[in-house]
Homo-oligomer: A and B are copies of this chain.
Amino acid sequence: MYRNFGFNILSSSEKSRLGVIKTPHGEVETPTFIFCGTKASVKGVSPQQLWEAETQIILSNTYHLFSYPGADYIKERGGLHKFMGWNGPMLTDSGGFQMFSLGHGSVADEIKGKRFGVPTLIKINEDGALFKSYWNGSLQSLTPEISVEIQRKLGADLIVAFDECTPYHSDKKYTEQSMERSHRWEKRSLDEFIRKNDFSQALYGIVQGGVHRDLRERSAEFVSENPFFATAIGGTLGSTKKQMYEVVEMTMGKLDVSRPIHLLGIGGICDIFRGIDLGIDTFDCVHPTRIARHGGALVKPQYRDSKKREHINLKRSEYSTDDSPIESDCDCSTCQNFSRAYLHYLLKARELLALPAITVHNIHFMNKLMKEIREGIRNKNLDCVRNKWC
């Protein structure tokens, strides 16, 4: 069923593991971080720059591309890889997260440069969901079958089953009903996937269940019992870091750990280490690339100006006369060529170059972090790596 795909666990240290995901567009060494190319582009950065920063894999968002420019359009262009000039491994999500979370208004800042505001969720029933496009206000429907069909047309290597992303404020009863429906939707996603499987894609199941142990365990068992290639942990992970780790831990306990395990939407440095401890293989988050566009540069602890943040805000006036690079030990093209003072100046002068320059650093930073984490697992000294980065 997944004959062109594979996942090999090379070694492990406690629950942390070192692996390789095989895809038709190349191999991905895990643990790794997946960068968000939401609208078929990692904002401001070319595929060449992504390669130079040693990026292994990126993702695009089905919801955004479905609204504009459309799945058929991208298929006619030869698929997402060819369209955007990225020839490496790629993932698309199911579209569910954006539709529901944006509809609920919780991450409305997801869509920048929006033309028609955020999407509005009109109706959700057993069949699927009806919503107003963020792009032009037209009515659009998303069902498990449509989501898989769109993702087939987009052509990413790794695709995701359609689910409802239940918001944190839902009560347990709604969370349970929603989870059961998500399971039915995931089954339908799987059926649709199998019906036209041409071995160019592999399907992820998603674990829901909110913050409730019994639901998370049932959902983890559901996903593990069905022939998904890999597992994504979705839904709300609670309101605190502590709760987040608890929810991930209770989920991991019932998962088939021979499959790759992805933790959706987590991208903080210390959070990644906690996820690694619990056995997570891949992460994604808009955080590293989004903060870059607001002047935030990720730095290791010795370069920080506050214990509260894992980045420095280059807009702050203290950086206007700081002639050192973002990180003195970083070999990215930004740190090799530009000082903090220059980046501060570019931000203040609203010069475009600031955005790709800081984004390139943050991408390089995340890739370096994940590489050292892999070395830490291989050499069984992950705690040394953690002390350097977190």
Using known A-B contacts A77-B341, A323-B78, A355-B352, determine if residue A346 contacts B41 with beta carbons closer than 8 Å.
yes
| Chain B minimum-CB-distance residue to A135 | B349
Give A223 Cβ to nearest chain B Cβ, in Å. Answer: 33
Nearest-Cβ distance from residue A365 to partner chain B, whole angstroms: 17
3 residue pairs, one from A and one from B, having the closest CB atoms: A85-B337, A44-B352, A113-B350
Determine whether the beta carbon of B333 is less than 8 Å from that of A77: no
Number of copies: 2
Chain B residues in 8 Å Cβ range of A68: 348-349
Interface flag for A39 (CB, 8 Å): yes
Nearest chain B residue, comparing its CB with the CB of A334: B46
Answer whether residue A384 sits at the interface, using C-beta atoms and an 8 A cutoff: no
Interface centre among A46, A338, A350 (most CB of B within 10 A): A46
CA distance A174 to B77 in the complex (A): 59
Residue of B nearest to A356 (CB): B356
> Are B46 and A77 in contact, CB atoms less than 8 angstroms apart?
no
The one of B43, B46, B339 in contact with A357, judged by C-beta atoms closer than 8 angstroms, is: B46
The interface residues of chain B lying within 8 Å CB-to-CB of A349 are 39, 41, 68-69, 113
In the assembled complex, which residues on chain B have CB atoms less than 8 Å from the CB atom of A42? 353
Cβ–Cβ contact B44 & A345, under 8 A: no
B337 with A44: CB separation less than 8 A: no
Extra A-B contacts (5), CB below 8 Å, given A41-B351, A113-B350, A352-B356: A68-B349, A69-B320, A78-B323, A84-B342, A85-B337
Rounded to whole angstroms, the CA-CA distance of A383 and B122 in the bound complex is 65
In contact, B47 and A351 (Cβ under 8 angstroms): no
Binary CB contact string for chain A from 31 to 73 against chain B (1 if under 8 A, 0 otherwise): 0000000011111111110000000000000000000110000
* A321 CB-CB contact with B under 8 Å: yes
Q: A222 within 8 Å of B by Cβ?
A: no
| Chain B residues whose CB sits within 8 angstroms of the CB of A375 once the complex forms | none
Within 8 A of B (CB), among A57-109: 68-69, 76-78, 83-85
Least Cβ–Cβ distance between A315 and chain B, in angstroms: 14
10 contacts between A and B (CB under 8 A): A40-B342, A40-B351, A41-B353, A43-B353, A68-B348, A69-B349, A78-B323, A113-B350, A352-B352, A356-B356
The listed residue with most B CB atoms (<10 A of its CB), out of A320, A333, A352, A357, is: A352
In this complex, the member of A43, A83, A349 whose beta carbon has the largest number of chain B beta carbons within 10 angstroms is A349
The distance in angstroms between the C-alpha atoms of A69 and B353, with both chains bound, is: 16
